[in-house]
Structure 1
Amino acid sequence: MSPATRRRGGDLEAAIYDAVFEQLEAVGYRRLTMEGIAAAARTGKAALYRRWPSKDELITDALKHVLPGPPGPPSTGKVREDMLAAVTVLRDTLTACRGAAFKVLKEEGQGGKGILHDVVRQRVSQPVKDVLYQALVAAAERGEIRPEAATRQIANVGPAVIVYHTLTEGGTITDAHLESVVDDVLMPLIRR
């Protein structure tokens, strides 16, 4: 790359983050290397090591860069729509990071105790489960669902189904699939 076209700042960072996800898709977490990321980003590996001492720190920053903020509290006043909104945020998050967050966790092999696990839990899985739980509590208070259905365990079911689909099937999670998770899995669990 000639000096006249050299990328810097935000442009270089975006190319590096794109390369992280491209490489995760191509080779997986275990075979991911700083050299591979540098080559895919068309930069030198020294540029990576100046900012990120390890691939875990680079992947963590890449995930933080693409992950949307946590979902807001349930707001529609109808449990089905609130649950659908929450699982849509989860799907959109998986799409934004190309499923890399869960691919990394699947391969990380630290029994759920790595830095990447913490990022995914704090930015993705826990906020979505919290919103689902809040939606269930609000629906129980309105008399829309069985009071005993407002549990964290039931709130975890929707995200578990979506993550399982992502890990085992891959591909796009359609709106119809999300509606099926809500209508065919969650709603029967909570109905009066």
Structure 2
Amino acid sequence: MARNQPAEPGRTRRCGRVLEQAIHDAVFAQLERVGYARLTMDGVAAEAHTGRATLYRRWADKDELVLDALCHALPSPVVIPLRGALRPEAATRLVANAGSAMMIYHSLTEGPVSDALLGEIVDEILLPLVRT
């Protein structure tokens, strides 16, 4: 589409959060359809109905794009006050990242993280790491 021509009939030009959400949705659709190894910036751009240059203005490569999509899709870590049964020295970034790493791994290899799996990650992995 030339710079001064209007968008296709029935289509509006997306920008900001609307465009970013469409791109993130396209990333997950591509991950589901072709997997991480075969995901390409071209494939994501086509799925999101945008140009490849739009992606490269925001993300240097597919790794950055997938990481950004995951960061927007996953819940923010919750700060839990330390109770008497927890070891204060266990409150490290490495321990905190263990749960997120498990969720990202599961999302990439098996699909969305269910509430039940999230509970298992907390109960079976995180709590044993921090308990006295």
Match of 1:73 in 2: 80
Give the TM-score, by structure 2 length.
0.60
Quick one: distance in 2 between partners of 1:167 and 1:24?
Answer: 8
Q: Which amino acid aligns with 1:14?
A: Q
Does structure 1 residue 63 correspond to structure 2 residue 70?
Answer: yes
| Equivalences for residues 160-179 of structure 1 within 5 A | 173-175=114-116, 178=119
Deviation of the 1:165 alpha carbon: 7.1
Question: For residues 126 and 177 of structure 1, do their structure 2 counterparts lie closer, same or farther at Cα, with a shift above 3 Å needed?
Answer: closer
Matching residue within 5, 14, 28 for 1:21:
28
- Aligned-pair CA distance for 1:51: 2.1
CA RMSD of aligned residues (A): 4.0
The one-letter code sitting in structure 2 at the alignment partner of 1:2 is E
- Matched residue count: 115
What 5-or-longer segments of structure 2 have no aligned partner?
1-6, 87-92
SS at match of 2:36: coil
- Distance in 1 (alpha carbons) for counterparts of 2:108 and 2:97: 18
User: In structure 1, what is the equivalent of residue 48 of structure 2?
Assistant: 41
TM-score by length of 1: 0.44
1:171–1:54 distance in 2 versus 1, CA, 3 Å: closer
For 1:67-106, what aligned pairs fall within 5 Å after superposition?
67-74=74-81
Instruction: Give me the whole-angstrom Cα distance separating, in 2, the residues matched to 1:13 and 1:167.
Output: 20
1:53 is displaced (CA, Å) by 2.3
1:139 maps to what in 2? none
> What's the offset of the Cα at 1:56?
1.1
Richer in helix (by share): 1
Change (3 A) 1:78 1:27: farther
Does the aligned pair in 2 maintain the 1:23–1:37 contact within 8 Å?
Answer: yes
Secondary structure of residue in 2 paired with 1:29: helix
| Corresponding residue SS for 2:64 | helix
**CA 1:171–1:62 in structure 2 vs 1: closer, same or farther (change >3 Å)?**
closer
The correspondence for 1:127, drawn from 96, 119, 131, is: 96
Counterpart amino acid of residue 178 in structure 1: G
Q: Is the 8 A contact 2:70 2:104 kept in 1?
A: no
